[in-house]
Amino acid sequence: MAEKKEETQEKPIFRMQKMYTKDLSFENPNAPGVYLIQQKQEPAVEVNLQLNNKKIDDDHWEVLLQITAKISTKDDDKVMFILEIEHAGVFLLKNIPEEHIQMILGVDCPTLLFPFTRQIVSQVSTDGGFAPFLMEPVNFMALYQNAQKKKEEVQN
């Protein structure tokens, strides 16, 4: 019986414990005139995404998605809205080999978090008087692999 308990404790555990918004900003600097312009043309979209993580204790990590989206008119570059969000989650990573931690933090955690972040961004843009702003899905595995390649190139 004691052996079964030890085996259970050795199994890797990966789970999101908590998800939360750390910071959220929506700016609509050219309202109400921008609503008339919006109907006449497709907007120009700039999106910047940053991913950060920090260790909270032995088994818990915070993973933070920072997204800034600036939506403006293509013709005269008039800002329609600027949205900034810091959306985070606390993840339990227990009994996971050290060599896998960075990949989990860079791929698995943001993959779980991003759909919720995307929903918040969509809702906030709608509440701001615009059509839902639907961010394109993000391939966090490709981003992680590209970052690893760059790191290797710098080291060589």
**pLDDT, tens digit, for every residue of 106-133?**
999 999 999 999 999 999 999 999 999 9
Single out the residue of 142, 134, 86, 69 nearest to residue 111, CA to CA: 142
Helices 140-155, 109-127: axis angle to 10 degrees equals 120
Does 64 reside within a domain? yes
What is the arrangement of strands in the sheet containing 79-94, beginning at the earlier edge strand?
Answer: 13-27, 79-94, 60-73, 43-55
What would the two tokens of residue 46 be? Answer: 């700039």
Does 132 reside within a domain? yes
Does 5 reside within a domain? no
Question: What CATH number is attached to the domain comprising 84?
Answer: 3.10.420.10
Q: What is the pLDDT of residues 129-150, one digit of tens each?
A: 999 999 999 999 999 999 889 8
Does 76 reside within a domain? yes
Single out the residue of 136, 130, 139 nearest to residue 71, CA to CA: 130
Q: What is the pLDDT of residues 59-81, one digit of tens each?
A: 999 999 999 999 998 877 889 99
Q: For the whole model, what pTM was predicted?
A: 0.86
Split into its structural domains, the chain has a count of 1
pLDDT of residue 7: 53
How many other C-beta atoms lie within 10 A of the C-beta of residue 77?
A: 8
Domain of 59, in residue numbers = 12-155
